[in-house]
Chain A
Amino acid sequence: MKKVQLFLISTIMLFLLAMSGPVMAADMLPAALKAGKPYNGKTIDVFLCCPKTGQFQQWYNFTPEFTEMTGIKVNYHWQPWGNAQEKIMTEFVSDTGAFDVMIYLDAWGPGYQNYLEPLNKYIKRDGIDINNWPPAFINGAKYGKEGNIYGMPVRGHAQLLFYRADIFDKLGLKVPKTFAELETVSKKITSETDLHAMAYYYGRGAQAQNLMVWMTYLWGNGGDLFDDNWKPIFNNARGLEATKRYTGMLTDLKVVPPNAVNFAEGEARKSVMQGESAMTISWWWAYANMTDPKKARPEVVKGLGFAAVPGWEGRESGTYALSMPLGMAANSDAKDASWEFIKWISNNKELQKKIALDTNFPNNVVSLNEAFQDSEINAHWKGIQKTAFAGLKNSDVMPMIMEWAEISTVLETSINSIASGKDVKSELDKAAIEVEGIMEREGYY
C-alpha cells in the first residue's frame, strides 16, 4: 500500500511539474499575449507604409518570434508614404477586407474612425494600462464623441532641435533655449560660416509638414488653431506674431536656405546631413538617419547634437507631437488574432529595446514610457529618448477632427504663400475665412 501511495503521489507531482511548464511559459509571454496559442493557424494581413523605415523592417524581421509564440502568421503589405492615406481609405470604402491591421498617421485617424475597430474593450479585457504611453500619443489615437481609442501607439515622435555641435563649439555658441536665442545664434552662424543657420521647411504638398514647426511657434506663444466654439483664432495677435517669427527666419533674417520655400521635412534634414545647414527642428527619429555614416557627411555624423526645441521667451515650451497608431479594421475577420499582433508590437518593451539596440537597422524610436526611460537604450543613443520624453510632457497633437485634411491643406498653402513673400496678415485672414467656411459647411456652427 505504501508503495502504491508513493507511486500515486510521485505521479501526481510529476504531472503537476509537467503542467507547470506551460503555465510558467504563459506567465512569461510578453505583451500580455494569450498563452496556449488560441489563434493558432490564423493569418492576418498587416499594412505598413514606408518600407525603408528601420523600425518597420525590424517588426518584419522579428515576426517569426511572434508566430512561434502565438501560431499566428503575418502577411505584410508595404506602401510608400505618399500614397498610404489613399490606399487605406480605398480599401476601407471598397470593403475588400484586404488588411486586418494597419498603421496610419494620427491626423488621418478621425477620417478612419467609421472603419476602425474601437480597441477599448480589448484594452480593458487584457488589463492594459494606457498610461504606459505618453498622453500625446494616446490623444493621437482617440477620436469621436465617445473618445474611443482606435489605435495603439507604436511609433511616436517628439520634436527636437538638431544642431552641429562642432560649429557651435567653434563659434563659442550655447544651445538656444528660446526663439530669441535661436535667432541670435542663427545670425552669427550665417555671418561667420558658409552654412545656412536653420533648415526649416515651408513647402506644401507633403502632408502639411510645414505646419509642424509652425504649431510649435503658435502654441509656444500661447496661440491656438481654434477657440472652444471651433472658430479659427490662428490669425489673432498671437498667431500673427508666431507666424511672422516662424517665416521671418527665411524672409527677414535670411538664415534659412532660400530653397526652404519648397522643402519638405526630409529635404531640410538632408540640408543638415549634406553640411549645408547647421540646424533643423525635426522628429527625434531623424537622429538615427542623420548620423548614419552611409547617408550623412562625416563631420555631421560626428558633430550632430540634439536638444529640446526652443520655447517662447517667458512661456513654457510646448511642441507638436506626432504618432502613428496601429489600428484594426472593423471588417477584419481575425480580430482577436489582430489584437494579439497589435499588443506584441505596442505593449512590448523588450521588443522595442531589441529593435532600438540593433545596429543593423539604426532606429531610436520607442513608444512605451518604460522604453523612453530605459538606461541601456539611452546609453546607446546618447540620451535622446530621455530628451524626447521630457519634450513630450508639454506636447500636443493636431485637432483630431475629420475635416483636418482639408483644413491642414488651407493652412499649409497659407504658410507656403507667406514663405514665398506674401503678406502674413492677409494670408492668415484669408485662411481663417476659408477654414471657418469649411467648419460651417460641415455643421460645426
Chain B
Amino acid sequence: MQSKAATKYILILPALLVLAATTIYPFFSALILSFRYWRMNKSPVPGKFVGFDNYTRAFSDPNFWNSMVVTLRFTLISVVLTILLALVMAIFLRQNNRANYFFRTLLILPFAMAPVLKGFTWKFMLNDYYGIYDYIIDHLLPFAADINWLGDPFWAQFWLAMTEVWGWAPYIALVFIGALSVIPQETLDAAEIDGCSHWQKIRHVMIPQIMPVVIIMTLLKTIYSLKMFDAVVSLTGGGPGRATETLNYFVYKTGFRFFDMGYASALAWILVFIFFIFAMLYERTLMRERR
C-alpha cells in the first residue's frame, strides 16, 4: 500500500519539478523582488531591501491607477458582451442538425487563433485605407466614416474588447451548448404545455438551469480578461495616450522597457492578489456545483 503511494508521487515528480522551476520558483522570486530595489540597467543583481516602498509607490502612481481603471473597464465590457453573445449563439445553435454541427465546428476557430495575431488582424481590418471592417462600417453607417477607430480613446478600448469577444464568445458558446443539451426535456415540455412562449422558455427555464455554468464561465472569462496583454501589444501599443494600457501591459513596460524589476514585481503581485480573489470565487462556485 505504502509502495503504491510512493510510486504515484515518484511518477508525478518530474512534472512537479518542471512546475516548480517554471512557475513556483519565479512566483516566489518575484514576491521577494517586490520588496527590493532593482534596476537591471544599473546592476545585474537585486539591490537593497526597501520594505513596502514599491507597493506604496504603486498606490501613489497615477499610471498604476490608470491601468487599473483601464483593466477593470476592459474586463467589464469584454465579459458582459462575451457572455451575452455566447448565450445568444448557444441558444441558436443548440438544436442538433447538420447545419448546426457545421457552425459549431467553426466556433472553435477564433479561440484557436493566437491572441497576438488577433490584435494584428483587427488592426488591419480597422485601417482607414484598406481595412475591411472600416469599409463596411463606413458604408453602413456614413456618420461613422470619419472616426479613427484606434486613434480615439473610447473606440480603441471598445475594439480591444471586441478582439476578446470575437475570440472567446464562440468557445464559451460551445460550453453553453453542452450545458443546454443536458437540460431535461421534460422541463421544456412542461413549459410548452403551460403555454410559455419561446422567449419565456429561454428566460425562465433554460437560462436558470444553466446559470451555474454561466457563472463559472463568467468568472473564468473575468480572470482571463484581467490579464489582457497580447492584443494590447499588437493592436494599440497601450494608446492612444494610455487609454488601453492594461495593468499587465504596464507591468511588462515597467519590467522590460524601464528595467525597474523591483517595482514591476510589486505591480505583478498586486495583479496576482486580484486574480486570487477571483480564483477563490471560481473555486468555491465550482465546488458548490459539484456538491
Binding site for B on A (CB under 8 A): 85-86, 89, 92-93, 95, 110-112, 114-115, 203-206, 257-259, 261-262, 274, 276, 402, 405-406, 409, 413-414, 416-417, 419-420, 422
Contact = CB atoms under 8 A, between A and B. Distances in A.
Nearest to B152: A420
B259 interface: yes
B240 A416 contact: yes
Interface residues of B, number: 29
Contacts of B239: 203-205, 261-262, 413, 416, 420
Given A111-B41, A114-B42, A409-B257, A259 B128 contact: yes
Lowest 7 A-B CB distances belong to which pairs?
A: A205-B237, A111-B41, A261-B151, A417-B241, A420-B240, A204-B239, A406-B258
Given A203-B237, A416-B239, A405 B258 contact: yes
Interface centre among A93, A115, A257, A422 (most CB of B within 10 A): A93
B227 interface: no
B151 A262 contact: yes
A114 B257 contact: no
Contacts of B148: 258-259, 261-262, 420
Best-surrounded residue of B42, B233, B241 (most CB of chain A within 10 A):
B241
Nearest to B261: A93
B151 A258 contact: yes
B241 A89 contact: no
Contact of A204 (B39, B152, B238): B238
A402 B153 contact: no
B73 interface: no
Contacts of B39: 402
Contacts of B153: 420
20 contacts: A92-B44, A110-B41, A111-B40, A204-B237, A205-B237, A258-B151, A259-B148, A261-B239, A261-B240, A262-B236, A405-B41, A405-B259, A406-B257, A413-B238, A413-B239, A413-B241, A414-B241, A417-B241, A420-B151, A420-B240
A112 B42 CA distance: 8
Contact of B40 (A89, A259, A422): A89
Given A114-B43, A420-B153, 13 more contacts: A85-B256, A86-B257, A92-B40, A95-B44, A205-B236, A261-B148, A261-B151, A262-B151, A262-B236, A406-B257, A417-B240, A417-B242, A420-B152
Contacts of B241: 204, 413-414, 416-417, 420, 422
A402 B40 CA distance: 10
B164 to A, nearest CB: 19
Task: Tell me if A's interface is mostly helix, strand, loop or mixed.
Answer: helix
B128 A257 contact: yes
Contacts of B240: 204, 261-262, 416-417, 419-420
Given A204-B237, A406-B258, A417-B241, A258 B40 contact: no
Interface in B196-243: 233, 236-242
A93 B151 contact: no
A414 B150 CA distance: 16
A402 B129 contact: no
Nearest to A206: B237
B284 interface: no
A86 to B, nearest CB: 5
B127 A258 contact: no
A261 B44 CA distance: 37
Contact of A93 (B40, B129, B242, B258): B40
A93 B241 CA distance: 31
Contacts of A417: 240-242
Contacts of A85: 256-257
B253 A409 contact: yes
A66 B237 CA distance: 41
A204 B44 CA distance: 29
Nearest to B131: A259
Nearest to A92: B44
B146 interface: yes
Nearest to A115: B44
A405 B129 CA distance: 32
Nearest to A438: B258
Contacts of B146: 258
